[in-house]
Every structure is written in C-alpha cells, then in structure tokens.
Structure 1
Amino acid sequence: MPIVTRAVKKPAEVNGSKAKGAAVVKEKTEAGTTLHQSKSKFYPVKFDNEGIYFLKPNPNDPPLPGVQEYYRLRAECLSKGTLFEDPDFPADETSIHLMPTPCNHSHYKWLRPQEINPNAIFANEGFSRFAVKQGALGDCWLLAAAANLTIFPQLFHRVVPDDNDMIRGGRVGVDYAGIFHFRFWRFGQWYDVVIDDRLPTKDGRLVYIQSSQNEFWSALLEKAYAKLFGTYEALVGGSASEAMEDFTGGVTEMYKMQDAPENLYDIIEHGCNAYAMFACSLKVRPGQKSEDPTPEGLITGHAYSITKAMEVDIKTPKFQGKVKLLRLRNPWGNEAEWNGAWSDQSSEWKFIDEATKQKMGLTFENDGEFWMSFADFKKQFDKIEMCHLTPDCPIVRDSQGRFKWKTSAFEGEWVRGSTAGGCTNFMDTFWRNPQYLIDIAKPEDGQDQSTVIVSLIQKNRRSKRNKGIDCLSIGYVLYKVDPNVVQQQKPLTAEFFRRHCASGNATYINLRENTNRYQVEPGTYVIVPSTFEQNQEGEFMIRVFSETPNNMLENDTPVGVNEPKDIDTEEFKKELVSMEKLFHDVAGEDGEVDWMELKMLLDRAFESDIAKAAEGITKLYTGKQKDQGPVKQEIMLERAYLTDHGFSKDACRSMVAMLDEDGSGKLGFSEFQKLLNDIARWKAIFKEFDFDHNGHLSPFELRSALESVGFTLNNHIINKLMHRYCSKEGQIWFDDFITCAVKIRTMFDIFNAREKNNKNEISFKLEEWISQTIYS
C-alpha cells in the first residue's frame, strides 16, 4: 500500500489507481435527506419555492431564544426612537481582533455612515458598478466574491436584502433605525445576520472595505460577514471560492493554469451556460504592486469574472477555423480593460461576421467588460475559481425549467476513537471513517460517463481561529462496489479496502473545502471522507453535484440488539458465586440493596479492576501536569490521588433503575442476579478487548466491544458515547464501560416495552417520557 501524502504534494495513488470518479448518493429515510445542523445564534432564513423571496417571520410567533431577529429589533428601535447598538458585535476591540491584547489596541473610532460622510448613501447605480477598494484587512477574496454577486441581481438581493434601510444622501427619516441585515449560507442553511451601522474609522476614514464614492453597502456587508466568523481579523486570508460559496450555497472548484486539465475551456463553457460564478486572478509579479496595471491593461492582484464563453468561426488571409473566446469583466466597471488581441478595438473583430457579433452581444464601451482568446487567458491569468449554483438558486433553470445540476448533501463528524480513522496510511482504522454510498445512473444523452463533482467541507474552522484552531488536512477516497456487497457489509470493513483498488482520491489539503471533478461510469461507489491523521476531530459536510438525479445514503450499521456473546468460563462462574455471597453479606434484613449498598458491593467485587483504572487515571493526570497552567496543575494533582475511585453514584442509581421493576429504588436477589449476569459478562468482554491489560479500552475498540455485548450501534450513537464516556485520549475506563452498557441497555428496554407492530417507532406523552427517562 503506497503512503498517502497531503497538502500541496500530490498523494500517492491508493492501490496504484487513478482518479475516475464518484457518483449518486441515496438515503432512504421517511423524512428524506437530513442535514444535522449545528446550533447557531443567527436567524435561519427561508425562501419560497422559487428560491427568490425571503419569507419573513410571523410577528405573532414567539422569538427564538438567543437569536437576533431583524424585523423585531428594527420595530423596537423605531417604537423607542433609538438607533440600534448591537450587543453581540460591540463597537470595540473585541470585534476587531482574534485575541485582543493591550499590544494590539487600535484606537479606532466607530462612526455611523452619516457621521463619516454627510452625503452617505446605501448603494449607488443599482450595485452594478463595483467601485470598492480593499482596506486594512487581507480580504481581497471577499471583494472578488462580492464583485461576482453584483452580476446577478437576484442572487445579490438574497445576500443584501432590498428591505434594508436606505440611506439617501445622508438624510435619514423617522423610519431609520441604524440596523441592517445580510444573509449567508452556512453548511446547508441560510442565516440572517443582524448588525448596527457603526463602522471602524481612523482619522474619519473607513479602516476596512470602502467605496471610492459615498456608498456604504459593501462596508456593512463586510461587517456582517466579520460578525458571522466572530471578528474582522478572522477574515484575514482566504479564497474567493469560500466567500462565493457563502454568498450562494454553491460548490466551488479551483484550477491553476500551470496544471489545468485539457478540457478546462469546456468546463468554463459549461459553467457559463449553468450560470456559474468565476473569480480569475493574476499574481503580483516581482517589481509590481497590487492593483498595478500590466502593459496589457490587466490589473494585478485583481479578480475578474467570466461572463461568457464562445467558440467562433474566423477567416483571415492566414488562418481559417474556430477560436475559443472568453468575455471577462473587471468589477470596477471602468476603462481598465485588456488591450491585446480581441480587445474592444482590435483588428481581429473585422474577421467575424455580423450575425456572430450579434449572437455574442458584442459592444465596445469603457464598461470593464472585454473579450480575449482562451490561449491569452491561460498566459495572463494564474488561477480560476468557479462556483456552481445549487438548484434552489432562482437563475439556474434551463429553457425547459429544469435545474442544471442535481445535488445531495450529508453532514457528519470525525470523533477521536470512533470515526476519526485517518487516511489510507492507517488501513486498520481507515474503515472507521464515515462511509457514503453513491449510485450513478447512465446519462440521458447516451454518453458512457457522467460528470460528478464531490465537495468535502470542514465546518466552522474560520470562526474558531480565535481559539488557535486551524483547518485540518482533509480528503476522501472513492471505491467502486458491488451493490450486493454493501447490502451485506454495513459499514465496509478493513478487509474490503485492503483488497480493492480505489477509483479515485482527493489530495489531502488544509483548506476549508476539497472539491474534485470526475468522469464516472454508471455504478455504485462508496466515498470515505477523512482527515489525513488519525484521531483528529472535526465536523464536515459532503456534497455531490451530478448531471443525473442523486440522493445520499450513509453506509452504516443498523441500530439493534442481538444475542450477546456467550461467556462460559470457570472464571466467569466463580465470579458469579463470589458476588452472590457478597450480596447476602451486604443486603439488609429486607434482602434488598439500594444504590449505596450496590456501590459498596460493586466496588468490593471489582476492586482490582477499579484499582487498575484508578492507576491509569493517576498516570494520565500526573503525566500531563507539566503541560498545564499552575491552577490546572494543582487541580489535576489533587484529582490524581483521590482515594474514592469506584463506580459513580449516578452509575449505581442507573443500575438499580434498569432492573427495578416495582419502582422501589431497591434490588432484590432475583433482580440482582440479572444485573450480576450482565455485569460479569460485560467485564469478561471488557477484558477481552483490553488487549494490553491496562484497564481501559483503546480508541476504536468501543464499537466492537459493544457488538460483543449485543448492541449494534451506528456512528452517530457511538460518537455521542465517545463524547460522554471517553477521555481526551479516546480511552474508555472499566467503570465507564459498565456505565455505558447500563445506559444503552436501559434505553433499549424502554423502547422495546413500548414498541408495537415492529415499526421501529414509539410514542410518548410528555409526562410519560419524563417519568421514564428521569428514573433511568
């Protein structure tokens, strides 16, 4: 098995294969494909069926807790006659810096637009001319995306709602509240971000994005985007594709000219026909400054949009044939245009017939839009980023009203010791990563292969930069599979991946998104997203764009209860006899034990196992003190030498509740015998999977151990168990394993007692649910 590499280096081919593709994804659930949304402090946005209009919240509905609602806040300010001041993004240093310190105190003055410019307006000339300049932040990537947005008014007003307060020439009326809102896409959901209109200034000028005139929509958009990620400094460094995605919900691809595919022009042409957004840039060369003009009339460090791709017939005295042309747009919308071949006044145009010129929509104006040949484009530009729009965008239907792309999406997470298996360098754990099935159908046009774009996004990394959290190196591998095999193996095991060649893979990169395009044959594929290293935790979203319909299915274990592994050893039998004797010694005159007596009984019976776990915990605490601050060192040292290690009070209460049929809060001998059999069996299984006999299960062992107990659980449940019961290193100690098994057994018992007709569902009234769960 070749070693997989990451970052800017191309990875070794997995099993010697070359990238071919991925495909359709299916999920069979009653509610359809479900996206597991993280909690957000922003208001979720809904559009109508056409994907155009924002559906305002009903004022009679109760407000969402902890969420700012633009219309409520604006109404409150207008009723009080006050201007809005945003408590969630205050006008101070905490909104500027990732980690504010006395050293980076900036002394900015926060002013409202009318205080900065007496003739302030919200927008000029209907947004079409993008006369905006970058400020002190390194967020030119944000400008590039915003410039693209102005090309499509319908998309622009999804992000910049047209019901924002209009500042007109510095005049504000009684209906102005100093509050604005903007909408952004975040991993499958649109959110409404509310801000006040106070902007950071220095010497009376805007510090960050600013228009060359007196409009303020771009500065307010930047502020809302900064709030989305926590601070202005969180916007330092990025790519246009990231912002284009957040402005549209689309999926992005990036190509460098030096290693672009041979069919790049076809990809661009297809993208133009499907209303994709483009950001094309040329690097600042040695001796140049950003935004310096080149001799050919282009602007360095500047992002251009592609608005059309067309192949035209040309006939000259020296050449006859087809020429591939691109129409580009300088977002400044001025006279700064390409002056080479096929520029506005170049001689090449006289060799094109008038009918073709009309079809091209050819005009010669100082509007920042120009044509150039694809050959010159490859020479002049260094990188192209393109964003494919999703079916919910109102502009992406073809002439028959059909969407250009079909999409599916799924969200998941990599959890230490559970689903963070790492790349194929770690084949023993690679199969533990989430797996997704994708079925690709034959294209309608009769082609043998279909285009599929697979996108893997790691979530919420930019907004955590203030905690020192950067992007992980992420990628994925694709395997073609026999549908009959995946019906029998859920998930596919390590043996499958060892024996089968990959159909394609993605270079592991430490960017927010890893997107690749494939030409695939019809069939079933499995896609396995992962981090490069093992046990790196993070949330992700995976999306598939295809030319044929697709759905997504997670290839995971069905949840259920099976017969536990039979334990019939002399040690097991002796343990049962010993514990039965201990019960009679501890039980009172009533022949029953409550949770306190059960704790004494269990702590004595499993004294050696608990001692081993306690020794491990002590080593864990003491071994890490040197890496901690003084207060944490003191706490850890104190915790390391506690003498009351044993089953927790809550665990013992749960054990009593699990078998307490009469609700007395005590266990009789017959009930204890059932518990005893379970615990003795769980202990034997624990020891079987404690391969190094150190008192804990190592990462990735919990799932197999629970399967031996009789519980088949999927990734989502195992992840939650790891979050609750494992250490930071992914270890499960003996008492925590027993507690975990008790909790699972109790939940299955509650469900099975209520299930009827084998429909895999139950119904509770609120009082019943509280009564059942509070005593468990």
Structure 2
Amino acid sequence: MSFRIYVLGMLAAYLERLGRGVFCGLCVCCSCTYKDSKFPHDHRSIGTFKGRTGAELDKEITWRRIGDICAAAAPQPKKGGASGSKPKPAARLFADDIEPSDICQGQLGDCWLMSALACLACQQGAIQQIFDTREYTQYGRYKMRLYDGTRKKWRSVTIDDWIPCGADGQPLFAKPNGDEAWVVLLEKACAKFMGGNYAALDGNLMIKALEMLTGDFVCMFRLGDTRDAKSRGKPRTEQRWTRLELSRGPPPKDAAPGDDLRLVYARDEPFDSELMFKSISWELRHGSTIGASNAGGKDTENVHGIVQGHAYALMKADEADGKKFLQLRNPWGTFEWSGPWSDKSPLWDQHPKVKAALDFKAADDGTFWMEYTDFINHFNTLEFCCRSTGFEHVVINIHEEHPCCGPCWGCLEGCARYWLCCLGCKALCCGRHVTQFKRPPAGCCGCIA
C-alpha cells in the first residue's frame, strides 16, 4: 500500500507534468487555455445574485484566472539578485498544510459548504482526495470527484480556472488564502455539480455538503424537536436532541443532485444533553465532522456575536476544570462569539488551568471557544458526517513549493510517516466503515481515542 500510494503517486505526478508539458505546453504559450463551455463566463453561470440577473450582471462582473487572483493576493517575496528584481509569486493549488484558516466565505449564502470544508480541513487527506488534479496547472483544467447521494455514485466534475470578480478585481464568492487556490476552485466545482450556477449554492444543509464531499453517512440532530414530547416547555439545557436522516426516493431524469432531499425521523430515542456531548467528543476523536447552526433568524442578525441562521464548523470538544467546552469556527473567518470564554473574556486569565488545557490563543480568525451550556442556548441543530476511515484517506503531498523535487520529497516524507509514525498501522487496524449512527460506548471504552 505504501508503494502504491507514495511511489506510484510520485511517478504519476511526474508523468502528469510531462503530459501537460507535451500536450498543453503549446496552448499555454499561445495563451490558449482550457475554457469550460458548460459553465460559461457570463450571467448564466451566476444565476440570480442580489436580485439581479442577465445582462445587468455581465456589466458588473469580470472573469479572471485563478493564477492572476492568487498571485495578487500572495505575500510578495523579498527582492533578490544583483538586479534587485522582485520575483513574481506563483499560484498553488495547496500551500503547505490545509487548514480551516484557508477558508473565507464571500458574498454568497453558502456557509453550509464553507463550514463543511472547515471541518474537513482538519482531517489529513480529506480535501486532497476530492481533487483528481493535485497541483496548479497553467492550462487551467481541474478535475474533481463529488458524490451524488441521489444516485449513490461518485461523479467526475471538470472546471476551468476563470473566477467571477467584482469591480475591485477580487472574487465575489470564496476568496483565496494568499496563493492557495483550492477553496475557490472547489466552490466552483460544487456550483457546477449542484445546479450549473453559483446561485444553486445559496442556502442548503451542511450534511448535504458533507455527503457530497465525502460520500459518507450523514445525519442531523435538532434540539427540543416537536416530536419529542418530553422536551416541551423545558429550558434548553433540559431539552433533548432528536435525530433525523436523509431519505430519498427515485430521482427524476432531469434532477440535479439533492433535488429530492428529504429529512425523516430516526427510530432511536432522543439524546439528553450529557449523551449528546459524549457523542460529539466520540465522533470528533474518530475523525467525524460536525457542524452547528441556529435554524432561526437571518444572517444579518446576531446574538452575542453568534450569527443567526448561519452554519458553523465544530472543531473540538474538551473538558477542563469540571467544565465542558466546544471550539467552533465561523466560515467568514471573522465575527466571533463575544460572551463568556470568548477571545476577549477575562475568564481565561482567571482560570489558567483551563487556558493551558485548551491551549487557548486569542486571534481574530473566526475560531472561538464556548462553554457547552452557552452552546445549547445559542445553537439548536447539529449535523454529523460519520467518516469511514482507512487507506483511501492516505494521500501523497507533492509539495508544489518545490517545483522539481516536490513529488520525490512527498514520497520520502509520506513513507516515513507511513512506517515510522504508524500511519499505515492506523489505517489498517483502526479504520472503520460507517453505515449508520451509533451511540458512544459506555464505560472506559468511551474514553479511548
């Protein structure tokens, strides 16, 4: 498996570069790059944006290549050489490690998608396995695979690298983090996959995004649901969580992915507050991804910094000094919780043990900690993606920052992690295949990571 993943992966990367150089090099030299005729560079690929459509949008929107956008956004390298010239920064598909801070939502209501990406960015190989094209290409053709839950199969999606921008030259929707292009390109692929335009991404369920990106089992919990009679009339902290699952009938021939999306109530008993926290901790430790939202209100409203009707990524669950804490991230990359245990809260200095246990560091990056009781008072929906893990999530990093020896370096690094850091043993012995939601085991087994 290590030979197949790393050695063959390295050879495939070099062969792909050779193929692009031979077959696409002349086109690139002649400025004749790939353009996707099924996703044209006009209002048809935008849909309805801010109540406008048609030729009116074409006057306001310009299309730029992702390489030009990322090169302008990248940190400018220092001057070097005798001439003192400044080398031009290059765009990359992935730069260094993939992190939640790579994600910044734009002027589109796709927080459900951005939050899902923030969750998956914390898991090794989860984003890379979506991309069949593993590095930036000047030819501008990128191929990805997304899961069609309606037809229960993976579909290949091919896009070009032209991105809609405003008058300032910045992308209207997702924005790149420096010279890193993967978020912007993946958002475009999802727009083509979901309905053929960006407007198709405006509002949906986070579990839909998680299923589309991973193909894994997904479900949702709602707090104090009307089906749970025991929760009625009680404070939020005493209400229980009711589970729902996706249910689909036979899709019509012209159905877009998710057109027949429905939620049905699961047959198991609702979860109380304590069991829900244990389930969150258990699933996060086993590589699952979880989103949180408040189903009411508009995203122009907020309560103590928590945006209403907005999806957040749930990053960590931990206990310290007898208190339960959750770490969340706003896909906007800013605008955080302002209540107890927020970044500016004096409670961190008053409780140094908690600060050390949670490794707290204040930063305006959209990530923040909340005590579990405050979380329940501000969020009423949890969306789970129970990840199946194994060798399919072990991928090679071809290190685009090293143009010539990057794949070779990635092969050596990957083999070292595979054999010396027990990555291979973990994939072989600790992998799991999930087809349904299970409650965390009771007793000491529930404490094993």
Same fold, TM-score > 0.5, yes or no: yes
Q: Give 2:211's aligned residue.
A: 245
Paired with 1:94 and 1:157, the residues of 2 have a C-alpha distance of: 29
- Specify the alignment match of 1:342 in structure 2: 341
What is the CA–CA distance in structure 2 between the aligned matches of 1:405 and 1:190, rounded to whole Å?
Answer: 20
Q: SS of the counterpart of 1:182?
A: strand
Amino acid at match of 1:268: I
The amino acid of 1:329's aligned partner reads R
Alpha-carbon distance between aligned partners in 2 of 1:266 and 1:219, rounded to the nearest angstrom: 35
Q: 1:185 aligns with which of 141, 147, 154?
A: 147
Identical-pair percentage: 26
Q: Deviations over 1:252-294 (max 9, x none)?
A: 2211233312121121111111121122123564xxx625553
* 269-278 or 141-150, which deviates more: 141-150
Cα 1:55/1:127, change in 2 over 3 Å:
closer
SS of corresponding position for 2:196: coil
Distance in 2 separating the partners of 1:133 and 1:205: 16
* Match status 1:306 vs 2:333: no
SS in 2 for 1:154: coil
The one-character-per-residue Cα deviations of 1:293-352 (angstroms, maximum 9, x if unpaired) are: 53x233344432222222334xxxxxxxx3222222334555x43232233454555675
Pairing of 1:116-155 with structure 2 (within 5 A): 119=72, 121-122=91-92, 127-128=98-99, 129-130=101-102, 132-135=104-107, 137-155=108-126
Q: For residue 371 of structure 1, what is the aligned residue in structure 2?
A: 369
Q: Which residue of 2 aligns with 1:225?
A: 190
1:112 aligned onto 2:65: yes
Compared CA separation, residues 205 and 78, structure 1 to 2 (3 A): same
CA distance in structure 1 between the partners assigned to 2:98 and 2:207 by the alignment: 21
Residues 1:218 and 1:250: Cα distance change in structure 2 (over 3 Å):
same
Specify the code of the residue in structure 1 equivalent to 2:376: K
Distance 1:212 1:234, change over 3 A: closer
1:265 paired residue among 272, 277, 284: 277
TM-score when normalising by structure 2: 0.60
Aligned residues: 333
Q: Does the aligned pair in 2 maintain the 1:254–1:384 contact within 8 Å?
A: yes
Note if contact 2:300-2:307 (Cα within 8 Å) is conserved in structure 1: yes
Query: Following the alignment from structure 1 to structure 2, what is the Cα–Cα distance between the partners of residues 116 and 400?
Result: 38
Change (3 A) 1:383 1:344: same
Which of 287, 291, 299 aligns to 1:279? It is 291
Contact 1:52 1:394 in 2 (8 A): no
Q: Indicate which of 378, 384, 387 corresponds to 1:380.
A: 378
Structure 2 partner of 1:158? 129
Name 2:163's counterpart in structure 1: 199
Q: Secondary structure at the residue paired with 1:406?
A: coil
Would you say the 8 A contact 1:138–1:236 is kept in 2? yes
Task: Give the AA of the match of 2:215.
Answer: G
Answer yes or no: is the 8 Å Cα contact 2:128–2:134 preserved in 1.
Answer: no
Radius of gyration: which is bigger?
1
The residue correspondences of 1:715-726 to structure 2 (distance < 5 A) are none
TM-fit CA distance, 1:113:
3.5
* Stretch of structure 1 that moved more, 228-237 or 368-377: 228-237
- Quote the offset at 1:203 in angstroms: 4.0
Q: Distance in 2 between matches of 1:54 and 1:140?
A: 37
Pick one of 14, 23, 29 that aligns with 1:76: 23
Paired with 2:339 and 2:424, the residues of 1 have a C-alpha distance of 35
1:389 matched to 2:339? The reply is no
Whole-angstrom distance in 2 between the partners of 1:519 and 1:307: 18
2: distance between equivalents of 1:338 and 1:116? 31
SS across alignment from 1:220: helix
Query: Is the Cα–Cα contact under 8 Å of residues 291 and 299 in structure 1 kept in the other structure?
Result: yes
In structure 2, C-alpha distance between the alignment counterparts of 1:256 and 1:284, rounded to whole Å: 12
Distance in 1 of aligned mates of 2:25 and 2:365:
41
Measured in 1, the distance between the counterparts of 2:18 and 2:326 equals: 43
Corresponding residue for residue 176 of structure 1: 138
* C-alpha contact (below 8 Å) 2:102/2:177 kept by paired residues: no
Distance 1:124 1:400 in 2: 25
Question: Partners in 1 of 2:135 and 2:167 — Cα distance?
Answer: 28
Q: Secondary structure at the match of 1:85?
A: coil
Q: Offset at 1:389?
A: 0.8
Kindly indicate whether residue 429 of structure 2 is the aligned counterpart of residue 402 of structure 1.
yes
- In the alignment, structure 1 residue 290 sits paired with structure 2 residue 299: yes
1:235 aligns with 201
2:427, 2:128 → 1: CA distance? Answer: 25
Q: State the distance in 2 between where 1:243 and 1:53 align.
A: 32
2:222 maps to 1:256: yes
Alpha-carbon separation, structure 1, partners of 2:280 and 2:368: 16
Aligned equivalents of 1:272, 1:235: Cα separation in 2: 26
Q: Report Cα offsets for 1:673-722 as digits up to 9, x if no partner.
A: xxxxxxxxxxxxxxxxxxxxxxxxxxxxxxxxxxxxxxxxxxxxxxxxxx
Letter matched to residue 210 of structure 1: A
- The whole-number CA distance in structure 1 between the counterparts of 2:17 and 2:39 is 14
Which residue pairs with 2:233 in the alignment?
none
> In the aligned structure 2, how far is the partner of 1:181 from the partner of 1:258?
42
Say whether the 8 Å CA contact 1:160–1:183 is kept in structure 2: yes
In 1: Cα distance, 2:296 partner to 2:176 partner: 22
Query: Structure 1 residue 192: deviation in Å?
Result: 4.5
For 1:290, give the aligned amino acid. Answer: D
Deviation at 1:155, TM superposition (A): 1.4
Secondary structure (helix, strand or coil) at the match of 2:125 reads helix
Corresponding residue of 1:89:
39
Q: Pick closer, same or farther for the CA change 1:302–1:407 going to 2, 3 Å.
A: closer
Partner SS, residue 224 of structure 2? helix
Distance 1:140 1:365 in 2: 21
Contact 1:338 1:370 in 2 (8 A): yes
Rate the CA distance shift 1:117–1:346 in 2: closer, same or farther, 3 A: closer
1:308-327 mapped onto 2 (5 Å cutoff): 308-313=316-321, 322-327=322-327
Question: CA offsets, 1:508-559, max 9 Å, x none?
Answer: xxxxxxxxx6799xxxxxxxxxxxxxxxxxxxxxxxxxx9xxxxxxxxxxxx
Return the alpha-carbon distance in structure 1 between the equivalents of residues 166 and 370 of structure 2.
41
Question: For 1:324 and 1:224, how far apart are their aligned partners in 2?
Answer: 38
TM-score by length of 1: 0.37
Q: Deviations over 1:441-491 (max 9, x none)?
A: xxxxxxxxxxx52xxxxxxxxxxxxxxxxxxxxxxxxxxxxxxxxxxxxxx
> What's the C-alpha RMSD, in Å, of the aligned pairs?
4.4
Residue 378 of structure 1: how far off its partner (Å)? 0.5
Q: Distance in 1 between matches of 2:4 and 2:388?
A: 12
Letter in 2 for 1:144: S
Code of the residue aligned with 1:193 in structure 2: it is V
Q: Do the aligned partners of residues 132 and 50 (structure 1) sit closer, same or farther apart at CA in structure 2, a change above 3 Å counting?
A: farther
1:375 CA displacement: 0.9
Offset at residue 362 of structure 1 (A):
3.7
Distance 1:109 1:328, change over 3 A: closer
Per the alignment, in what secondary structure is the counterpart of residue 189 of structure 2? helix
Asked whether the equivalents of residues 110 and 204 of structure 2 are also in contact (C-alpha less than 8 Å), the reply is yes
The unaligned stretches of length 5 or more in structure 2 are 74-90, 226-240, 242-270, 395-422
Q: Tell me by how many angstroms 1:139 deviates.
A: 2.7
Aligned equivalents of 1:118 and 1:391: distance in 2?
Answer: 35
Q: Counterparts of 2:363 and 2:71 in 1: how far apart (Å)?
A: 33
